[in-house]
Structure 1
Amino acid sequence: MCSAIPAVRESVTAAFPTAEEAQLVDALRADRKAWFDGLSVAETADGTLAGHALFTRCHVDGAPAPALAPVAVLPAFQRPGRWRGRHPPRRGRHVLRSAAPTRS
């Protein structure tokens, strides 16, 4: 995913009115306690990085749990029926179930 970092940052920045969400993704990527390898999920459509979902580790009542945020979809792909690719949060949930990272 390292080679996709600039494209992810660009797509997250384009999907929101400010760069705060892209800065959040950068900060979470740098936080080894929060970061799950393989759960920064990017999807393409029409040859463009169209969406990104980020799962990180948080704690609920002291127990580790996955957190989903932010989810970014480029404005051109936000219309219903426009994005025919796989859905990043759905794919990320599948990876979470397969890896069970909160159990470690």
Structure 2
Amino acid sequence: METVVGTVNLGTPIAYLETLVAPVTWDSPNAPAPELFRRLRSPEGEQLVLTDNVFVEAVLPSGTLREQCRRWPNQREVTVAGLHFLPEDSATEISAALLDWIPTV
């Protein structure tokens, strides 16, 4: 999992974890596919999620705008270990990265 910290063009520092950084609507480029979500909610869904790992391998990557965010100026990307909820899993590493980054903005 990754944590990315950076600044926006206006110079206001922001720190964010990899997440959805833009609104999602059904017709947006990173919108979830209705046909896939119907399958995930069907009896087939458990197989797709638990065995085929479709949610992690297909749904989550399509919902992030990682490459777009990497084009923002003044980025610093930090990779930390984590299983699910990064602020709990890697609080010390995230804090250290923020403390190192904040004086540079």
User: Considering the TM-score relative to the shorter chain, is it more than 0.5?
Assistant: no
TM-score normalised according to structure 2 size: 0.29
- If asked which structure has higher relative contact order (CA below 8 Å, sep 6+), I would say 2
TM-score by length of 1: 0.29
